A and B are shown apart, each in its own frame.
Chain A
Amino acid sequence: MITLRALTKRFGETTAVDELTVDIGPGRVTGFLGPNGAGKSTTMRLILGLDRPTGGQALIGGQPYRKLRRPLHEIGALLDARTLHPARSGRAHLSAMAASNGIPDRRVEEVLATVGLDDRAAAKPARALSLGMGQRLGIAGALLGDPPVLMFDEPVNGLDPDGVRWIRQLSRSLAAEGRTVLISSHLMSEMQQTADWLVVLGQGRLIADAPTAQVIAGSGLAVRVRSPRPTELAALADRLTAAGAVVESGGTGELTVTGSTVERVGELAYELGVPLHELASHEASLERAFMALTADHVEYPAGTGGASA
């Protein structure tokens, strides 16, 4: 269980995390979503006591991280993979981590086997590891103390499709064992398949804290519009945006609209004289739900006509 209470972190003028209050519960995979710069990594560093909060607190099993004596038994975390000494082997890295928490060396061999790093890879200096192997090593470190809480920051970064599938299965089985699993990602499609619950962050503030299915449903249906006349289509997009809908451009002559209805889009198109080749409603994806949720919270919008992922 991770408990955040009015957690706040400011760097000078910018507020990275803003009065964040949320509980990350056990027995499920919680996806931690948000656009770049939303404060996901900062929140994770605050949970681990690496950064000092400006206000509020982060608790693991009711305790602040800096008070934990053997933290690897309480929470295992994978931050960015570049926390390795380039000249030290993966096995030595894990061995030092294990020693610090009184974990026997045989556990190092166990977690190496769990993440699929063989003897040859474990003996290599960290500089010779691929990004994917570095991620596996980081996860091995998180698993060392067999902790009830796990936290992975962008774990699928740099992994091949096999690795991505492996992370998904690992996260699910860890949650099935009753552990708390928190995974940050900007890959909405990945979260849709992995996370049971979503915590969505925008500009450091909590935007959503609900089951994945509910977040998707809450965004309503998406409407797809196709037209051979880009100029008129752009005018339609502007009118829809002005009316409060979220419009996403899906290539030339194509729009995806959320926060509106097929009827409303059709009427507007008629009004503006836009010839339509397609007007259809689609079940919303997490991707779109996410965009609808964070539309107001993107630090640097990717131009007009909707943000791209």
Chain B
Amino acid sequence: MTTIRAEWTKLRTVRATWWTVLAAVVLMAATAGQLAIYVANGNTNDDPSDDAGVVPLGSVLIDSLELVQYAVLALGLLMITSEFTTGTIRTTLQCTPSRGRVLLAKAAVAAAVTFVLGLLLGAVGALVASLVLGEWGAAPVAGTLRDVVALATYLALIGVLALGLGAVLRSAVLTLTVLLAVLMIVPLSLREPDITALHRIADAFPGEAGQHLLAGDGQPYPPAVGLLLLAGWAAVALLGGRAALRRRDA
């Protein structure tokens, strides 16, 4: 608990944290607004009451996330990579010699912060999308709420994934590059040739698992499996980070 308090103190006392939060919110508002405009413009039906062309707000949120998630990821990975660039890792390990405790505390703070930020982003995105869509947007309370919570959970887990990866790679740029590859480029490339085995492998990647968690569809696996897969990725990244912190000189 003391280590968690220390990590929270460190995170909130650097202005860059709040700039990142602000950037994520602005990005969410802009992206959700733009996607909502596309939906409204692309709609050829002129009678909302017959239901064709009406979009649930949640789907706009989920599509916006593809871009917005990188601002949130930055928060998770900067919690550790900035310690290496500034040398504060030495102070941190001097205060808490157990590498596992340090990383777990960071993970707890990263998950909590990105979860709350996810809720905020969901609310902002839903508000903007509903304003733009007007009667072309559908906002069933339970469905939208579920989408927002799923979105926040997804962000919390990839935030932890980014943190663990950052502990292994130490450099922010390198970590972000690897994340981009793991979340988007690799699974997309795997799907390029139409081979079933490659599709199955692509399904297991964290970005894909997240998509299934968010979309709530049953194919190829239910959202709960997507959640478990994501959690597994985050756990493996943390274990890797702990091993790296233990083995290497600080």
**A binding-site residues for B, Cβ under 8 Å:** 45, 48-52, 65-68, 71-72, 77, 79-80, 82-89, 92-93, 95-97, 99-102, 141
Contact = CB atoms under 8 A, between A and B. Distances in A.
Interface stretch (B3-11, B46-54, B127-135, B172-180): B3-11
B13 A66 contact: no
Contact of B6 (A52, A83, A96): A96
Nearest to B98: A66
Contacts of A89: 13
Contact of B9 (A48, A50, A86, A96): A96
Nearest to A9: B249
B178 to A, nearest CB: 24
A29 B90 CA distance: 25
Nearest to A96: B9
Given A50-B250, A96-B13, A66 B97 contact: yes
Contacts of B10: 85, 88, 92, 96
B13 to A, nearest CB: 4
Given A68-B97, A82-B87, A100-B3, A92 B16 contact: no
Contacts of A87: 14-16
A67 B98 CA distance: 8
Given A48-B90, A82-B86, A92-B13, 6 more contacts: A83-B86, A83-B91, A85-B86, A93-B13, A96-B13, A100-B2
Contact of B90 (A50, A65, A67, A102): A50
Q: Give the interface SS of chain B, mostly helix, strand, loop or mixed.
A: helix
7 contacts: A52-B247, A85-B88, A87-B15, A89-B13, A92-B9, A95-B9, A101-B95
Contacts of A83: 86-88, 90-91
B93 interface: yes
A86 B97 contact: no
Contacts of A66: 97-98
B86 A84 contact: yes
Contacts of B95: 71-72, 96-97, 100-101
A243 to B, nearest CB: 44
Nearest to A144: B95
Interface of B: 2-3, 5-7, 9-10, 13-16, 82, 86-88, 90-98, 247, 249-250
Contact of B93 (A50, A67, A80): A50
Nearest to A70: B2
Nearest to B102: A100
Nearest to A49: B97
Given A50-B250, A83-B88, A102-B2, A77 B13 contact: no
B10 to A, nearest CB: 5
Candidate in A45, A48, A97 with the most chain B CB atoms within 10 angstroms:
A97
Contacts of B98: 66
A67 to B, nearest CB: 8
Nearest first, the 9 closest Cβ-Cβ pairs linking A and B are: A100-B6, A92-B13, A100-B95, A96-B9, A99-B6, A51-B249, A99-B5, A50-B250, A66-B97
A102 to B, nearest CB: 5
Contact of B2 (A79, A92, A93, A101): A101
Nearest to B248: A52
Contacts of A86: 86
Contacts of B249: 45, 50-52
A52 B92 CA distance: 16
Contacts of B91: 83-84, 93, 97, 141
Contacts of A67: 97
B18 to A, nearest CB: 11
Nearest to B87: A83
Contacts of B90: 48, 50, 79, 83
Contacts of B97: 49, 65-68, 71
A72 B96 CA distance: 9
